[in-house]
Amino acid sequence: MRTRIPLLVCLVSGIIMFAQYFSSHPIAKTVYNGILEWWQIIFAFTMFVGVAAFIRNSLKNMRRKGEAPYRVAALVGLTLMPLLALIGGTKFGSPFLWAFDNMIAPMQSTVFSLLAFFVVSASFRGFRARTIPATILLLTALIVLIGRIPIAELISESFPKLTFWIQSYPSMAARRAILIGIGLGSMTTALRVILGIERTYLRGE
């Protein structure tokens, strides 16, 4: 029973959502709109679950050696932003927007910019023409790197064209193959879930 009911709910929901796509009947529209609203409500509640889990996890790990300052900072951040929004609102000039613009945005940009340093280090130490495929990859990367900057047009007008060709043909062919694979895989998985063949979401039962 514990398996059959969820499987039945899944089958019925899947068939309803599939069928309503092809119908413009008012009942189908009402059901569709209702499901969309419920979907958002359920998702909003999952955020509360996420926040609760984060708080619990942070409090639990606070006792670990050296972790307390980071956990406290995370919890202060988690509490401070909603508090600022509740007290001062989210309008222009509010403490919430000030904290976002002057604390969150610069900190996140800083962390993200570290990637550039890793790329520099990796390009010097790892990007070697050891084999023929590696050499092809290396040359392609160099052409694209040059082709994406304005100086390329000063060197030769062929660089941007060559970059465009690489992106439009070999790179795109690989991308398309991946996308088609993902699409077919998604469809197959969806069908397997709806028909009850795929049951891993029921903890493998």
Partner 1 sequence: MTTLRTRWILFAGLAVVVIASYLITVHFRTTASPATQAAFDYLETLPESSVVVFSFDHEASSLPEIKPISLAMLRHAFQKNLKIVGLSLFAEGTAIGYSLLRKTAGEYGKVYGEDYIFLGFKPQYISAILGMGESIRRVFPQDYLGNVTDTFSIMRDVEDYNDIEMVISIADGDRTVQWIEYAGPRYNQKVMAGLTAAMITSYDPYLSSRQLYAVVGGLRGAAEYETLLGKRGGGNRGMLAQSSAHIYVIALVLIGNIIYFRNRKRRGRG
Q: Which residues bind partner 1 (CB under 8 A)?
A: 21, 29, 32-33, 36-37, 39-40, 43-44, 47, 89-92, 96-97, 100-101, 104-105, 108-109, 111-113, 116-117, 119-121, 123-125, 127-130, 138, 141-142, 145-146, 148-151, 153, 160, 164, 167-168, 171-172, 175-176, 179
Q: Of 82, 62, 60, give the one whose Cα is nearest residue 71.
A: 62
**C-beta of 68 vs 103, nearer to partner 1:** 103
Query: Which residues have C-beta within 8 Å of that of residue 16, sequence separation ≥ 6?
Result: 31, 35
13 contacts 195 by C-beta, under 8 angstroms: no
Q: What angle do CA 74, 56, 41 make, to 5 degrees?
A: 90
Q: How far is the CB of 79 from partner 1 (least distance, A)?
A: 16
76 contacts 58 by C-beta, under 8 angstroms: no
**C-beta of 10 vs 96, nearer to partner 1:** 96
Query: Which residues have C-beta within 8 Å of that of residue 189, sequence separation ≥ 6?
Result: 198
Helix (H, G, I), strand (E, B) or coil at 181: helix
**C-beta of 153 vs 205, nearer to partner 1:** 153
**C-beta of 201 vs 205, nearer to partner 1:** 201
**C-beta of 59 vs 86, nearer to partner 1:** 86
User: Which residue type occupies 189?
Assistant: T
Q: How far is the CB of 184 from partner 1 (least distance, A)?
A: 15
